[in-house]
């Protein structure tokens, strides 16, 4: 996996906060940058890919790690 530009720790946050925080962080990042998002909200499994599809950002990967999910999102642009 390409090295993330930034990491967003959304552990313990419930829907829709992980996606809202990811959207805010991505806004300030340059096109092509990669945001790693850590989330343990079960709804994030649906919300994060849906957000990427709607916003045009690229979901590079989605994996489970120690009871939470790790998403790598590449900013479009």
| Dist CA 57 CA 41 (whole Å) | 20
- Do the beta carbons of residue 8 and residue 35 sit within 8 Å? yes
Angle, in degrees to the nearest 10, between helices 44-55 and 17-27: 30
15 is annotated as an active-site residue: yes
Catalytic residue among 4, 5, 11, 15: 15
Catalytic residue annotation: 15
């Amino acid at each position: 996996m390409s090295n993330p530009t930034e990491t967003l720790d959304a552990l313990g946050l419930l829907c829709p906060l992980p996606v809202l925080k990811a959207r805010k962080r991505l806004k300030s990042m340059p096109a092509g940058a990669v945001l790693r998002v850590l989330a343990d909200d079960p709804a994030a499994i649906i919300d994060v890919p849906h957000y990427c599809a709607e916003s045009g950002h690229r979901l590079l990967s989605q994996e489970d790690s120690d009871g939470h999910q790790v998403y790598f999102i590449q900013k479009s642009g």
